[in-house]
Homo-oligomer: A and B are copies of this chain.
Amino acid sequence: MPGTVTSYTVEDLRFPTSLDEAGSDAMNKDGDYSAAYCTLRTDDGQVGYGLTFTIGRGNDIVCSAVEQVASRLVGWKTEELFTAAGMGRMWHYLLADSQLRWIGPEKGVIHIATAAVVNAAWDMYARHEKKPLWQLVADFTPEEFVAATTFRYITDAITPEEALELLKSKEAGKKERVAKLKVEGYPAYTTSVGWFGYPDEKVAKLTREAIAQGFNHFKASSQAMKVGADVATDQRRLALIRSIIDDPKECAGRPVPSAGSLVGKQAGPTGSVLMIDSNQVWDVQEAVDYVKQLKDARPWFIEEPTAPDDILGHASIRKQLKPYGIGVATGEHGHNRMLFKQMLAAESLDVLQIDSCRLAGVNEILAVLLMAAKKGIPVCPHAGGVGLTNYVVHLSIIDYLCVSGTKERNVLEYVSHLHEHFEHPPTINPHGFYNVPLDPNEGYSIGMHDESKATYVYPHGKYWSGAGADKVKANGDGNKLA
C-alpha cells in the first residue's frame, strides 16, 4: 500500500541572535534569526522537513500560514508526489488556492510559508530516493527537470522548450562536473566578518580568521561587510578590511585566485575581493551618491542598494556605478520569479542572489536559475540566516551541474553561526569551499536536532521560558519612537 501524507507539524523556532548582533545590518539591527519549521509525515513512516527563515517577530504569523498551506498536502499519495512531474503538479496546486493567493499574491508571508512546505516535500522525496537533494535533481532528465519547474508568467523570458534545449546542452560534462565538485567543493564567501554592530577590532580579528579559514582563494571570494551608518565610518571600516586582505604578509600562504576572474580588476594585489551590502537603506540617487564615495575600497558589487522591488531603480544605479567599476547585486528579498525575470530583462544586476525560501521553494528556484543562465548572469544565493547555508549549497550545485554549467563566476555566501542545531550542517573544506553533501539520508539537509527545537521553540521552549529571554525582550523592537 502506497504512503499518504497524513499529518504535519509547524514549530515557531527563534534564536536570540540580537544579543550578539550577529546578522545585524543597517536595516535590521536586532534580528532574532527564526524559522517557521514544517514537518510532513506519511502513514508509512516517511518524513520531510522544511523551514522558512524570518528574523523574529512575525514568525508566528508565518507559522499560521505554513499550517494552512501544509494542510492542503494531507491526503496526497507519495506515489503521486515522488516524481519530477508530481513535484511540479504539487507546486501549482499549492499556489492555486485562490483565497490564500489573494493575500500575496505570490509574495510575502503566504509565499515564504509555501516555501517551507514545498521544501519539506522535496526533502521527503529526496530522503525516499536515498539521495541528497542536489543529486535527486541532478539525476533528472532534462524533461523531468522542466516538469518540476514552474513557467507560469515567465514564458516571455524562457519557454519550457528553450529550457529543455539549455538543459540538454549541459548534459555533456555533467559527470565530470560531479567528480570535480566532489574534489574541489563549491566556492564560498564569508559574510561573518563585518556585521553592522561589530567594533573595528572584531572586524579585523574576524577578517584575519577568515583568511586563516581559506576564504581567499576563490575567484569571486571576498569579505563582505555592511554599510549604511555613515560614509566616513564605512570608508574607515572598508579601508581596515582592505589593509588586511590586500597585505601579502597577512595573506601569506593563500593562493592567488586564478587568472581570468570576472572581478580581477577589483581584487587587488592578493586577489582578495570585497563586496558591500547596504540592506535597502537608500533611495536610488542616494545609493549612487553614497557608493561612489566607497570606490577606493574597490567593491565587486553593492548589494541591496535600495528597495528590493525596484527593478528600474537597480538598473539606474548599476548604470551610474559602472564607470566606477562597482556592480550591483540583489535578490535576498526578491519576492518571486517575475521580479527576477524583469531584473534580468532590465539589466539591473551583475549578480543574482536568490533566497531559498523567499522564493516558494525548489520549483521556483529552478525557474530563476534557468532565466539567469539564459542571460549569463551568475547566481550567488543568499545564506545569511538560520538554515539557509544548508539549503543553498544544494541549489548552487544544481546550478553548476545542470543549468549554468559553471562556477567560475559564482560564489556562495557562507555564515558560520547556528550550524550546531542541524543534523547535517554544511561544512567548509580547508580551502574555504563548501563540501558537497553526500549522506543519502540528509535530503535537503534541513533536519534539526530535537534538543534544539525543544530549547528554542517560541514562546514556551526552554530558552524562551528562562532568564535569557528577558535580555532579548529588553532589546525591544529596535524602533522606539524618539
Contact = CB atoms under 8 A, between A and B. Distances in A.
Contacts of A111: 108
B478 A98 contact: yes
B110 A110 contact: no
A57 B100 contact: yes
A103 B112 CA distance: 8
Contacts of A345: 312
Nearest to A343: B312
Contacts of A285: 155-156
A283 B156 contact: yes
Contact of A156 (B155, B284, B342, B479): B284
A129 interface: no
Given A108-B110, A156-B284, A57 B93 contact: no
A107 B110 contact: no
A57 B68 contact: yes
Given A103-B108, A309-B339, A98 B284 contact: no
Interface string A286-325: 1000000000000000000011111111001000000000
A103 to B, nearest CB: 4
B339 A152 contact: no
B110 A58 contact: yes
A442 interface: no
B109 A109 contact: yes
Contacts of A336: 309
A231 interface: no
Q: Which of the four size classes fits the interface of chain A?
A: 35 or more
A54 to B, nearest CB: 5
A104 B98 contact: no
A97 interface: yes
Interface stretch (A23-31, A177-185, A253-261, A432-440): A23-31
A68 B58 contact: yes
Q: For A27, A103, A280, which residue has the most chain B Cβ atoms within 10 angstroms?
A: A103
A156 B102 contact: no
Q: For A58, A316, A345, which residue has the most chain B Cβ atoms within 10 angstroms?
A: A58
Interface stretch (A59-67, A207-215, A219-227): A59-67
Contacts of A100: 57-58
A55 B99 contact: yes
Contacts of A479: 93, 96-98
Contacts of A311: 311-312, 342
B28 A65 contact: no
Contacts of A152: 283
B335 A107 contact: yes
A22 B28 CA distance: 43
A11 interface: no
A109 B285 CA distance: 29
A104 B108 contact: yes
A477 interface: yes
A99 B280 contact: no
Contact of A310 (B30, B55, B98, B153): B153
A97 B27 CA distance: 10
A103 B477 contact: no
A32 B99 contact: yes
A288 B473 CA distance: 54
Given A28-B102, A102-B58, A153 B306 contact: yes
Contacts of A477: 72, 97, 99
A315 to B, nearest CB: 10
Interface in A83-129: 89, 93, 96-112
A425 to B, nearest CB: 23
Nearest to A94: B479
A56 interface: yes
A338 interface: yes
Contact of A98 (B30, B64, B99, B105): B30
A481 interface: yes
Given A57-B97, A93-B481, A104-B109, 5 more contacts: A55-B99, A58-B103, A97-B478, A312-B346, A313-B342
27 contacts: A28-B102, A31-B99, A57-B68, A57-B97, A58-B65, A58-B99, A58-B103, A59-B103, A61-B61, A61-B64, A72-B477, A89-B481, A93-B479, A97-B479, A103-B108, A106-B307, A108-B109, A108-B111, A153-B306, A153-B307, A155-B285, A156-B285, A156-B313, A309-B336, A310-B341, A310-B342, A311-B311
